[in-house]
Chain A
Amino acid sequence: KAGVTQTPRYLIKTRGQQVTLSCSPISGHRSVSWYQQTPGQGLQFLFEYFSETQRNKGNFPGRFSGRQFSNSRSEMNVSTLELGDSALYLCASSLLGSYYGYTFGSGTRLTVV
């Protein structure tokens, strides 16, 4: 059974640019969540999608957005990149109502220069 796949693994962007990250969940999982991980702030919840609808949202500015497609694949977009957006972005998928939490991907390491 394939795990959660995130692409690309590494990305370097210039301040002011925008970026799109992709996440393919485990087959059958309809919920996809996104997290930002930085050394200073730890793991912070960005948003969660279920059946193409945003169900939960963390406390991030509107520059951070996402969407989910009918096949459950998800993308997140960050516009007008800032140096502080440099982080590991993690995607996790889960079954609705699963008590076994999330299965995480290996993440996309974004560096803004």
Chain B
Amino acid sequence: DAKTTQPPSMDCAEGRAANLPCNHSTISGNEYVYWYRQIHSQGPQYIIHGLKNNETNEMASLIITEDRKSSTLILPHATLRDTAVYYCIVRVGGQSNYQLIWGAGTKLIIKP
């Protein structure tokens, strides 16, 4: 069963920050939150992951609430190429034996 809840779709203007929310209220203390995106007709692409602290890389920032029940993926300056389905995922299991439990995803449309 999915452990995450996301809005089915969102729009964002090109050049603005895209903020994608995710609810994971049943997450356990050692379960990581991962974000992937899938551009049409391609395999999913890793974006970022985190456990408790906020994380940032060249693609995005991940903000996790203190109670870890929700998180937000931020694309700071969205471009048309960021149009994709974004998946918020919980990783269950240990470091060497884990599974990614996928939600339904948010279809993000970047508008010119």
Main secondary structure of the interface of B (DSSP, over half): strand
Cβ contacts under 8 Å, A102 to chain B? 44, 46, 100
Total interface residues on A, CB under 8 Å, equals 21
Total interface residues on B, CB under 8 Å, equals 23
Interface string of A37-53 (1 = CB under 8 A from B): 00000111100100000
- A90 B97 Cβ-Cβ under 8 A: no
Interface string of A80-102 (1 = CB under 8 A from B): 00000000001010001101111
Q: Tell me the nearest residue of chain A to B47, going by C-beta.
A: A101
Q: Tell me the nearest residue of chain A to B87, going by C-beta.
A: A43
Contacts A97-B96, A102-B46 supplied; 9 other A-B pairs, CB < 8 Å: A43-B87, A45-B100, A48-B99, A99-B32, A101-B46, A101-B49, A102-B100, A106-B41, A107-B42
